[in-house]
Amino acid sequence: MPDISVGAQIFDLIFHPTESIVYAGLLTGEVKAFGYDEQGQQDHRFTLKPSKRSCRGLAIDEQGDRIWSVGKGKSLW
């Protein structure tokens, strides 16, 4: 996998269970998603900001349909 610049400190990473997508939870409170392939190409899929505080952890369901983030204030989104 190539280096991917996300613009802030990463607190957690998770991979989609069935697709070539990686999600990063950032110090800024953002969750960023990137697609990738076997040749090392990557593309930015989306950015969400569920919190003004940092995103400390991520989880995804077994099908990859839902993603959750937890923040510094112990909030779950």
Please name the residue ranges forming H helices in the chain.
none
Distance CA 30, CA 54 (A): 7
**Does position 26 have pLDDT exceeding 90, yes or no?**
yes
Single-letter residue type at 13: L
Mean pLDDT of 18-37: 95
- Nearest C-alpha neighbor of 48 from the set 69, 65, 31: 31
Q: How many domains does the chain have?
A: 1
Q: How far apart are CA 42 and CA 58, in angstroms?
A: 21
| In-domain check, residue 3 | no
pLDDT on residue 1: 55
- Domain hosting 44: range is 10-71
Q: What is the mean pLDDT of residues 24-52?
A: 93
Structure token digits, residue 26: 């950032």
Integer Cα distance of 44 and 62 in angstroms: 22
Per the domain annotation, does 2 fall within a domain? no
